[in-house]
Structure 1
Amino acid sequence: TGLSNLGNTCFMNSGLQCISNTRPLTKYFLENKHLYELNRTNPLGMKGHIAKRYCDLTQELWSGSSKTVAPLKLRWTISKYAPRFNGFSQHDSQELLAFLLDGLHEDLNRVQTKPYVELKDSDGRPDEEVAQEAWENHLARNQSIIVDLFHGQIRSRVRCLQCSTLSIRFDPFTFLSLPLPMDNSMYLDHIDLKQCLRAFTTEEELGKDELYHCGKCKTMQLAKKKLDIWRLPPTLIIHLKRFQFVNGRWIKSHKVVDFPKTDFDPSSFMTKPSFREESPPLYDLYAVSCHSGILGGGHYIAYAKNKVNNKWYCYNDSSCKEVSADNINVDTAYTLFYERQGIDYGDFMP
């Protein structure tokens, strides 16, 4: 089922089609499970309005009763809580998705009263202990179908260049936002997803405008920072950072990023020791949001795999056409959606 363009809303339609084809989340809404978990009193939420509107749209999309649906009420509700998405300007599909998933999480947060959580410094403790403590702190305040499906964990390690003291933090993520390796050309032929992951996990020296407050020096210092993946979610969303701020202005990278459609293994970019002993986590692609054209304009479409018949479809606003997996145009891929093999998604039902 296609989604009507309500005036430059292809950015929203593309993201919605990808999320709609996330099988366990759609099953959750089709079975009205959200009614048992609505958190209308959460001050960070939207009184259940986003969850209700998204559910209505999901049920309409999957009813099989129409070829095109107009997401008017969901768009109106999103614009009410995030006025930046109002009007008829083109917006960033990934930003819209981030707002929607965060809104759904807070509307469905099972934690009714969030406890105060104190962030402790790593202080030389083993990574496993610090990571588990950070994850438990996260879950003490955040539990929902969104957390269950999409949240992973990143290790951030900062080293003071003055005294070499290490500070290690573990933070949750919903999107893995990967840089596209830069060079002299924004149009250089093909790179692959592993090169993007390598760029993401390469240690970088922070600039003078990013000075780090060293706990030992007790002052702002130059530092080096390294990111690593620690915990992978069942549903992995990868955001390719095509829009970059270079030399004082925003530009779009048109590089073609090659990525696997099946058996994607990101474990070599993880630091969690247990993954070196277990069989590696493998992921299969099920949706892609694509952006063609220029920064501030252009057009979004989506490709997604229907879990009912295992066929791929191209979603271009109100148009929805079946395509073969080999004919998916991935040159303009912007956001990739992977699901992990071997997961029993029945476990995610309340």
Structure 2
Amino acid sequence: MFSQMHSSTHDVAFRPKPQSSYSVPSSGEDSEENENDAGSSNEPTPTIGTPKSSPYINSYSSTYDYSSERGRGQVQPGLCGLSNLGNTCFMNSALQCLSNVPVLTRYFLENHYQEELNSDNPLGMKGEIAKTYAELIKQIWSGKYSYTIPRNFKTAVGRFAPQFSGYQQQDSHELLAFLLDGLHEDLNRIRKKPYVELRDADGRPDDEVADEAWKSHRLRNDSIIVDTFHGLFKSTLVCPECSKISITFDPFCYLSLPLPIKKERFIEVVLIRMDPAAKPMQYKLSVPKMGTVQDLCEALSRLTKISPDKMVVTDVYNHRFHKVFAPDEGLSHILDRDDIYVYEVPVNTCDDPDTLILPVYMRERKVRQNPSYNYNNVSTVLFGTPLLVPIPRKNTTYEDLYRIMLQKMSRYIQEPDSGDEWYGEEIKNCVKDGVIGDDDMKNDNIDGEAESEEDSSQGNDSHMNDNSMSDDEVNCDNRPHRMFSFHLVNSYGSAEIEHIRDDDRPIKFTNRSYLALDWDPKAKEKYYDEKQAEELDVDETVNATPMRKRQVISLKDCIQLFLVKEKLGADDPWYCPSCKKHQQATKKFDLWSLPKILVIHLKRFSYNRYWRDKLDTMVEFPTRDLDMSEFIINDGHGYATYDLIGVSNHYGGMGGGHYTAYGKSREDTQWYYFDDSSVSPASEDQCVSKAAYVLFYELKGSRCERSEKQTAQANRKSAAATQSSANCTEDNGTASSGEDDSMEIN
């Protein structure tokens, strides 16, 4: 049983876990649209309903009129929502942020992309990503629709990136990374990429090496994306063996910043010692947040001097073992609400030839008499804390097992003496005062695995006729009156697999056996001290740890952490050209040059082999005047102050959630909240929240920043031209080349 519990949860009862809940800022509008995001809450959703449609529509051949599925009406350009096609809020969030990047949107609205479309680029998407994105941007900025349907864009993306082809929840940052790369290759001005040999610094000045690296990059990569989003890292690697220093300068499209998080967490556990006289002891353990159950055992070992190899860590729920944790299992599987019990055992493996660790449940027999039908209704109800009891593997009789259990529970039960009716007295009648014999405890439901945990928690019922007693019951004059009887049961403790007879034959157990102690209700009332059984001592660690104050993390803290020197992991070594072998070198990033549009990805989703988590840590970031100059090592870089223009938000946890966006409109310099097809005004302060996931900053005073008046005029002209073209189409009954309402331009 012991190894089975450690290697698998196959035979352990599981309780349903409550779904995570989270809140999303309300858009202030009622909703008729069905939000299909996994794990989404009941927040207000868009006002316009979107009919279901085929997941695959050809962007260039569909003749169906989707204009009826758009929210018509004159609106401010750019304030156009995007319908959720089924868990596509991640895509909508990224698109709304990118739509509010002025220089990129102007590029598409003014049709500059048509001059630079590179349909023959083998690394590109045949120009389809650029064309469908352009059509979507024109729709958003037409000023004609309150929302539109990005189905054609999604279809194009799914064609070239299968991970986005379905309707599962995805990551807005991953979609953004793919989209920027796809747009770059579709719009790359380099038709034939030359071969460029990368050179190490070899002691040359940083200015020279950086300039060479940037020029080499531009020889193969030249597009509006490079112009707008690409910056330059300085990467320094040092070999720990030969001290070889390798310096390279590498382009980047966004900064993925780690969050300074607590590396430890506290877990409360209850220790059950082998000594039956010892009360259970509660501890609060400080363990690595990304650690394993083995780390928990080692932390407890430091306090108790018990070897970690002699500990079994369990989650106890409803008086049964909900789960037994393997030593290498991640601590992320232990939740704060779980009741964790650690059992001290003499052996830790089923390979021990002499000792078996037997899981034991406590049950009380309940008898309800039904004279009308001449039968008794008998049920069993779980109570108390389950036990892990070491027993001999061989030659254990009923009397041996009974004595072992009495000794194990000696702290909280009184053993009857020789003069008591419950021990040693010859029983003249095995069935009296409504208490039935052991063999009457036959359960109709043998297949316990098919019974739900909710049903089993109510007890186990069986019906038997008072007149149908076995030979053992008739001839039981010499059998002692036990306080409890034994059954082998399923992992829920709800169904009998085998009744253990009270005789001298050895009992056969396996590594998968569960034992139930079925207490006679009168014996339990007289000899079982429930208060004493549930008492536990509290270690000073439970109350000694003070509550930590809420940590305030700034965006600059994240940047500084990103720039800290770190050692490469064993699974990610660097090949040292001097040593001629892979080494766990130290690596350090520095910022050499920053782009006009700085995209910052906050790494809220953290995971490794044992641990997965969504970090809802509040990161304070400025909406104006983010000064990056202190982080740039290039003295000749110049001005590096940024203003926030967009935020992609994620609400929820690892298993699901909802994405929204904030965007700053260049039409009126106001902030707006984009929640799928709903768009509503927002304040600048609302943009800073613990849901912020991807930040978009624009360089102040750069060539990409026009005056507000110039931007507004350009957008109004584009909207007017689109409206005029649409009017001509309606008057003439023919489709114009600018906007075709007979086709879903998205």
Partner in structure 2 of residue 74 of structure 1: 153
1:298-309 alignment, distance < 5 Å: 298-309=657-668
3-state DSSP of counterpart to 1:208: coil
Is 2:211 aligned against 1:132? yes
Give 1:236's match in structure 2, choosing from 598, 601, 605.
598
- Read off the aligned partner of 1:94 and give its amino acid letter: H
Alpha-carbon separation, structure 2, partners of 1:346 and 1:334: 24
Alpha-carbon separation, structure 2, partners of 1:81 and 1:261: 35
- Read off the aligned partner of 1:81 and give its amino acid letter: F
Give 2:672's match in structure 1, choosing from 295, 298, 313.
313
Is 2:86 aligned against 1:86? no
Give 1:290's match in structure 2, choosing from 649, 652, 655.
649
Partner in structure 2 of residue 337 of structure 1: 696
Partner in structure 1 of residue 628 of structure 2: 266
Is 2:118 aligned against 1:21? no
Name whichever of 305-314 and 184-193 sits farther off: 184-193
Gaps of 5+ in 2: 1-79, 266-288, 290-547, 707-746
Residues 280-327 of structure 1 show CA distances to partners (whole Å, capped at 9, x for unaligned) of 410000000010101131100000000011010000001000112123
3-state DSSP of counterpart to 1:209: coil
Partner in structure 1 of residue 576 of structure 2: 214
Q: Which has the larger radius of gyration?
A: 2
Partner in structure 2 of residue 96 of structure 1: 175
Tell me the percent identity: 51
Q: CA deviation at 1:346?
A: 7.8
- Read off the aligned partner of 1:24 and give its amino acid letter: V
Structure 1 runs of 4+ aligned residues shifted over 6 Å read none
Q: CA deviation at 1:345?
A: 2.3
Is 2:416 aligned against 1:57? no
Q: CA deviation at 1:165?
A: 1.4
Alpha-carbon separation, structure 1, partners of 2:250 and 2:686: 37
Alpha-carbon separation, structure 1, partners of 2:597 and 2:140: 21
Q: CA deviation at 1:226?
A: 0.4
- Read off the aligned partner of 1:202 and give its amino acid letter: V
Alpha-carbon separation, structure 1, partners of 2:689 and 2:704: 27
Alpha-carbon separation, structure 2, partners of 1:195 and 1:158: 23
Partner in structure 2 of residue 150 of structure 1: 229
- Read off the aligned partner of 2:699 and give its amino acid letter: R
Give 1:182's match in structure 2, choosing from 249, 257, 261.
261
Partner in structure 1 of residue 610 of structure 2: 248
Partner in structure 1 of residue 561 of structure 2: 199
> Does the Cα contact within 8 Å between 2:699 and 2:705 map onto a contact in 1?
no
- Read off the aligned partner of 1:269 and give its amino acid letter: F
> Does the Cα contact within 8 Å between 1:178 and 1:197 map onto a contact in 2?
yes
- Read off the aligned partner of 2:697 and give its amino acid letter: Y
Go from structure 1 to structure 2 and tell me whether the alpha carbon gap of 1:296 and 1:86 turns closer, same or farther (over 3 Å shift): farther
- Read off the aligned partner of 1:312 and give its amino acid letter: W
Aligned residue-pair number: 344
Q: CA deviation at 1:126?
A: 1.1
Q: CA deviation at 1:250?
A: 2.6
Is 2:691 aligned against 1:328? no
3-state DSSP of counterpart to 2:648: strand
Higher helix share: 1
Alpha-carbon separation, structure 2, partners of 1:320 and 1:300: 14
Q: CA deviation at 1:247?
A: 4.8
Residues 176-218 of structure 1 show CA distances to partners (whole Å, capped at 9, x for unaligned) of 1101113136896431101100110000112222222112222
> Does the Cα contact within 8 Å between 1:8 and 1:90 map onto a contact in 2?
yes
- Read off the aligned partner of 1:154 and give its amino acid letter: F
Give 2:114's match in structure 1, choosing from 29, 35, 55.
35
- Read off the aligned partner of 2:552 and give its amino acid letter: H
Alpha-carbon separation, structure 2, partners of 1:282 and 1:249: 37
Name whichever of 245-254 and 184-193 sits farther off: 184-193
Alpha-carbon separation, structure 2, partners of 1:221 and 1:83: 35
Q: CA deviation at 1:80?
A: 0.5
> Does the Cα contact within 8 Å between 1:4 and 1:318 map onto a contact in 2?
yes
- Read off the aligned partner of 1:204 and give its amino acid letter: E
Alpha-carbon separation, structure 2, partners of 1:250 and 1:212: 26
Q: CA RMSD in A?
A: 1.6
Q: CA deviation at 1:54?
A: 0.3
Residues 76-109 of structure 1 show CA distances to partners (whole Å, capped at 9, x for unaligned) of 0000000101211100100000101111110000
3-state DSSP of counterpart to 1:121: coil
Alpha-carbon separation, structure 2, partners of 1:283 and 1:193: 13
> Does the Cα contact within 8 Å between 1:8 and 1:89 map onto a contact in 2?
yes
> Does the Cα contact within 8 Å between 1:91 and 1:296 map onto a contact in 2?
no
Partner in structure 1 of residue 461 of structure 2: none
Alpha-carbon separation, structure 2, partners of 1:329 and 1:198: 20
> Does the Cα contact within 8 Å between 2:621 and 2:688 map onto a contact in 1?
no
Alpha-carbon separation, structure 2, partners of 1:207 and 1:155: 20
Name whichever of 320-329 and 10-19 sits farther off: 320-329
- Read off the aligned partner of 1:54 and give its amino acid letter: Y
TM-score by structure 2 length?
0.45
Name whichever of 321-330 and 164-173 sits farther off: 321-330
Q: CA deviation at 1:273?
A: 2.2
> Does the Cα contact within 8 Å between 1:90 and 1:296 map onto a contact in 2?
no
Partner in structure 2 of residue 117 of structure 1: 196
Partner in structure 2 of residue 225 of structure 1: 587
- Read off the aligned partner of 1:89 and give its amino acid letter: Q
> Does the Cα contact within 8 Å between 2:254 and 2:598 map onto a contact in 1?
yes
Go from structure 1 to structure 2 and tell me whether the alpha carbon gap of 1:48 and 1:346 turns closer, same or farther (over 3 Å shift): farther
> Does the Cα contact within 8 Å between 2:234 and 2:248 map onto a contact in 1?
yes
Alpha-carbon separation, structure 1, partners of 2:628 and 2:704: 21
> Does the Cα contact within 8 Å between 1:2 and 1:320 map onto a contact in 2?
yes
Gaps of 5+ in 1: none
- Read off the aligned partner of 1:135 and give its amino acid letter: W
Go from structure 1 to structure 2 and tell me whether the alpha carbon gap of 1:209 and 1:326 turns closer, same or farther (over 3 Å shift): closer
- Read off the aligned partner of 2:230 and give its amino acid letter: H
3-state DSSP of counterpart to 2:561: helix
Alpha-carbon separation, structure 1, partners of 2:687 and 2:695: 13
Q: CA deviation at 1:221?
A: 2.1
Q: CA deviation at 1:267?
A: 1.7
